Copies of this chain bind each other. A is one copy, B any other.
């Protein structure tokens, strides 16, 4: 059984690679047609897709009733949980289709010699293995991104969404088969064993994109030679500088913590310069408590609240001494760890040691402090007087978001379609005899390295 399954998994990977390679000879306009076909086929199969989704929901409801699944997970499974969810999924494909083509873009071009022009041109990466949880509409989103960027993709959804994901994936293949692109560009797999088998096939799989829990990402990183693009934690901080403005402090901290606490770009830690413990911090704390935030304070920040008169409401129920692990915890709820520091430098050191290199913000009126913070904080995002919640591909203007990377290789921070492309160098010799390196060097020709002003490759 194991070997038969391994064989079929190898076939999936191999056929994905072959489909990718074959697709490189097809004009990129075919990808736009394919995305249009996908929206048509999704609408045509809406009834069946929602019926498959119903099967997943019924199974999930039984799990919820038995106390083995949360009702929030159930809600995320449901393609009809809000009236516009289906239409939003369809619109998402149309939006991706309308984005500029991320491939074929020249970002370096030099004439090396008369008749010898070199171009570095963006191109797809190859075969993506995307692993995600729960929300079945992600399969449509990822397929659209993969097709738009010219990649092949193998998709693995959560086991709770098997019926939905399998049918969505099949509908996408059907749509592809009515185009000039190979229908096998998008495939899906069902089990963790399939994932494990694919993680060993680095000759076929070029990039793994896990979208899920921290432990999922690290498990995958530990078990493959294939590059992994995934974000682990989102432990973001706000630093209240000694020159902070009260109104900005209130607005930025409240938004960073309470706008959407379950998001990875929400603040988990508030770092306060001691000099503002007595004036700004009590007002910030009161606003946070009024917004139902629980505060895990270090001794100085706790003491600053305890000595207030009158004491803030909820002081006894919603404020407590921070436990040992508070500053290493991604709460993802209305809980905020609070730390006091005596200098900007200490804040930077703390963030670099305890944060997740995602996004940090400083509240300050000092341009020197702003500059030092943005330089010193080793994170994908460093903001001044702006909410950490801005760290998002749509807000950054990418039109879409593949994920948010806390790594710093290939892509960092919110990742748009650019994260799904690589580049290659193409060069054409024009004239007699071709070009050879033996004619260059001591006593011979010299490399010109003249810039070429081109945005695409003329001979491709």
Contact = CB atoms under 8 A, between A and B. Distances in A.
A112 B409 contact: no
A125 B409 contact: yes
Contacts of A397: 110, 112, 118, 447, 449
A380 B425 contact: yes
B412 A422 contact: yes
Given A110-B396, A125-B408, A429 B385 contact: yes
A381 B227 contact: no
Interface stretch (A89-97, A183-191, A301-309, A386-394): A386-394
A409 B422 contact: yes
A298 interface: no
B390 A112 contact: yes
B434 A363 contact: yes
Contacts of A434: 245, 247-248, 251-252, 363, 385-387
A207 interface: yes
Interface in A404-432: 407-410, 412-414, 422-429, 432
A413 B394 CA distance: 31
Contacts of A247: 432-434
A438 B255 CA distance: 7
Contacts of A440: 395
Nearest to A447: B395
Copies in the complex: 2
A460 interface: yes
A371 interface: yes
Given A367-B459, A424-B379, A387 B436 contact: yes
B352 A21 contact: yes
A227 B229 CA distance: 10
A435 interface: yes
Contacts of A428: 370, 374, 383-386
Contact of A255 (B218, B255, B436): B436
A233 to B, nearest CB: 12
A259 B436 CA distance: 9
A397 B446 CA distance: 11
Nearest to A388: B437
Residue from A372, A376, A427, A447 with most neighbouring chain B CB atoms (10 Å): A427
Interface in A1-57: 20-21, 24-25
Contacts of A438: 255, 259, 387
A427 B112 CA distance: 38
B437 A395 contact: yes
A61 interface: no
Given A227-B227, A370-B428, 9 more contacts: A21-B378, A24-B375, A126-B408, A252-B435, A374-B460, A380-B424, A380-B425, A382-B424, A385-B435
Give me the 6 closest cross-chain CB pairs, A-B, nearest first.
Answer: A255-B436, A248-B434, A397-B449, A408-B422, A385-B434, A385-B429
29 contacts: A20-B378, A21-B348, A24-B375, A118-B397, A125-B409, A126-B408, A207-B409, A218-B225, A221-B225, A222-B225, A247-B433, A248-B429, A251-B436, A252-B434, A254-B436, A259-B438, A367-B459, A381-B424, A383-B426, A384-B426, A384-B459, A386-B435, A387-B436, A387-B437, A390-B437, A395-B437, A396-B425, A412-B422, A414-B425
